Structure 1
């Protein structure tokens, strides 16, 4: 009643440590309650304005806040719309320049320790491609959340030629109509849902935070990014052409955790899972699903006990793998699992 809002949208405190023409790199400040340990964690959003806010949606539903509180050294790679040049970024810009520079800078900041990458949406794909293109990068592991790699995996099989073109046209029309109908349905039922849950401030705060985020980045924004970087579903192949050369995903030689949202319409789990078969040389590839849509699987209220718990265990294993002490809270989780 006093502020006109319920969601605490204050960003988790951080400091700028590096910036380029298309990006900014931030280091989150330690919480003061724990001593940060273990390999550093670099959060990688898709290269779109405001997309980095997905990792820090609101207080209480912020993955960045959670990782800092559990004793990790946490960094964020931001697209930084204020630093953009007039031209839209190209795939090679991020795979060959932005990500390698950020990974190297984070590693230097922690005395040469390898970096654990956590990418959301297209950010997860860029992490994998950067590791494939630059095997010498100090990368300890990759977590790819809600990253679509094979759009055709969610569609029924269709014959080649004219029949395939007809099917594609019909499917896109139906999908567009379905999305419009879904948006109309949500707009009609949402007031009723909110009225029946006026006593649930956490629920209302989440709606407010999601509205603030989607005002800048929607599911359609994610689709446009995929279409620009990987036309014709090119990402489903075993290698990708970047700046005139082929980058083979088989060159990824670090552990990879793949997470899909069970209710994700932008990246259904069937379009996410194929990444696991494209990484034959990775020493450890795991696939898990968690409740939530495209944003909800990362920063939804249910993510606290599902996606975040999976990520906590994964990062703790990475600390042990590199002979480093995991944060105290993560060591306790490992002990309880064993």
Structure 2
């Protein structure tokens, strides 16, 4: 989590001034009286479609707002809570999109249990995402959908759009945020790669996830926390030195809630991710074996926007950028490096002036027939600074 820039200014002393003391006292009192300083109220939403491990929600427009333009569908990653898109007020992508007047939707999967252990990735690629996209388009009056996927949600979205079994989907564009295509470029996996090879013959990992029915929730939560182990170690010091910074404290509270709500992986889906993604690194070659077929990423025929986080340890820039050459069927591919780690690039404080700005410009550029598409940085409906955008076209 980034530190406020004021602390790096010359002359910032160790002895707090009166303003900092008052701010710290206010934050401590608020935390004692109300349990925290973050505004964790979820944005209001309505269920519009559901199925097996599929719930599609429409976020309601503001009381004085009017929805306009093509709808945006946020794709939740498997095993992560949908809180990633609605982290807290002020750092919520959902809140931003609704405030902008965009029809905003989300697909999530509910709690995964042992009974779901036989569900593979094809359930999400063949059924959940295509059904959600069609439901959103229908609910929005038949308009094409801007699909946005973070982390594994972006990978599932790519596979769904590339899969010929999905048929023709009403999609305007695809945005993938922090989705690693080449896991050999992920430093966090380097220490355990020999272990993956070591267990190849005896099937230790396979037997373990089959016995457990997947990757249980505590293990998923621990794995996510492991990616930020340095921040975990220094967290008490950071909280003590930022007790006067309400924004900092609120973000820590929101991220803690997100991490505590991790969800389990179904057994078969976890096995496919382990063998074909983490171990086989198939996406690095531009394809993925699923069920009885091979899905080629070159089959994606809609505009694609790809984000890499400058300090992302789970999906480093090189791991994410590796997908770009395989998107040869897309009419336009744009790659952006934005500030932040894996979650921060999506919903950190810096995302408000980087990732969200680029997303707005992208949606405006590839909007439907309601308004002519405007060049990036010159949207007639929304004014943004184009200096945050650094497009690297194909």
TM-score category by the smaller chain? 0.7 to 0.9
CA contact (8 A) 1:28 1:68 kept: yes
Q: What is the Cα deviation at residue 67 of structure 1?
A: 0.2
Unaligned runs of 5+ in 1: 159-163, 170-175
CA contact (8 A) 1:264 1:293 kept: yes
| 1:33 equivalent in alignment to 2:81 | no
* Among candidates 295, 299, 315, match of residue 363 of structure 2: 315
| 1:195 equivalent in alignment to 2:226 | no
Quote the Cα distance in structure 2 between the aligned partners of 1:337 and 1:40. Answer: 23
Q: Secondary structure at the match of 1:137?
A: coil
| 1:304 equivalent in alignment to 2:335 | no
Q: What is the Cα deviation at residue 335 of structure 1?
A: 8.4
Q: What is the Cα deviation at residue 272 of structure 1?
A: 0.4
Quote the Cα distance in structure 2 between the aligned partners of 1:125 and 1:195. Answer: 38
Equivalence for 2:54: 23
| 1:278 equivalent in alignment to 2:326 | yes
Q: What is the Cα deviation at residue 268 of structure 1?
A: 0.6
| 1:45 equivalent in alignment to 2:76 | yes
Change (3 A) 1:191 1:237: same
Matches within 5 A, 1:97-112: 97-112=127-142
Q: What is the Cα deviation at residue 195 of structure 1?
A: 1.8
Equivalence for 2:184: 152
Q: What is the Cα deviation at residue 165 of structure 1?
A: 5.3
Change (3 A) 1:36 1:84: farther
Change (3 A) 1:314 1:302: same
TM-score normalised by the chain length of structure 2: 0.73
Equivalence for 1:252: 300
Q: Secondary structure at the match of 1:116?
A: strand
CA contact (8 A) 1:21 1:83 kept: no
Q: What is the Cα deviation at residue 189 of structure 1?
A: 2.5
Q: Secondary structure at the match of 2:255?
A: helix
Equivalence for 2:380: 331
Q: What is the Cα deviation at residue 181 of structure 1?
A: 10
**Most deviating of 61-70 and 104-113:** 104-113
Matches within 5 A, 1:74-153: 74-81=104-111, 85-87=115-117, 89-133=119-163, 134=166, 136-153=168-185
Quote the Cα distance in structure 2 between the aligned partners of 1:111 and 1:181. Answer: 42
Change (3 A) 1:248 1:225: closer
Q: What is the Cα deviation at residue 204 of structure 1?
A: 0.3
Q: What is the Cα deviation at residue 216 of structure 1?
A: 2.6
Equivalence for 1:267: 315
Equivalence for 1:243: 291
Quote the Cα distance in structure 1 between the aligned partners of 2:34 and 2:127. Answer: 42
Unaligned runs of 5+ in 2: 1-29, 199-221, 388-394
Equivalence for 1:173: none
Change (3 A) 1:318 1:83: farther
Quote the Cα distance in structure 1 between the aligned partners of 2:272 and 2:356. Answer: 26
* Among candidates 236, 243, 259, match of residue 214 of structure 1: 259
TM-score normalised by the chain length of structure 1: 0.85
Quote the Cα distance in structure 1 between the aligned partners of 2:195 and 2:385. Answer: 54
Change (3 A) 1:86 1:132: closer
* Among candidates 6, 11, 16, match of residue 42 of structure 2: 11
Q: Secondary structure at the match of 2:116?
A: coil
Quote the Cα distance in structure 2 between the aligned partners of 1:234 and 1:298. Answer: 25
Equivalence for 2:208: none
Instruction: Give the length in aligned residue pairs.
Output: 318
Quote the Cα distance in structure 1 between the aligned partners of 2:242 and 2:36. Answer: 16
* Structure 1 vs Structure 2 CA RMSD: 3.2
Q: Secondary structure at the match of 1:39?
A: coil
Equivalence for 1:172: none
